[in-house]
Amino acid sequence: MPLGAIVARDEVMDWPSGSHASTFGGNPVSCRAALATLDLLEAGYTRNAAERGEQLRAGLRRSRPTTPTSATSGGWA
């Protein structure tokens, strides 16, 4: 779902509230979807992604070739 936001320092954001918005910034369905996504991330999705990433890296390290030519290639370093 599309969602837009603007973040800036106070000295740059000197517009009155509501005078600048994005096309998707106020869509209530998109805002609710974004909040649900944040809830899922906080509930452990980022931890799970990190664990699965390490599992993948470990498997790739175990399966990498051991010949001098392929072991020193940039892709296996």
d(CA 38, CA 65): 40
Q: Using alpha carbons, list the distances in angstroms from residue 31 to 13, 59, 61.
A: 22, 38, 41
Q: What is the pLDDT of residue 31?
A: 85
Q: Which long-range contacts (CB under 8 A, 24 or more apart) does 16-23 make?
A: none
Task: For residue 56, give both structure tokens.
Answer: 């993948």
What pLDDT shows up at residue 52?
Answer: 94
Band of the pLDDT at 57, cuts 50, 70, 90?
very high
pLDDT at 70: 53
pTM of this structure? 0.46
**pLDDT of res. 8:** 81
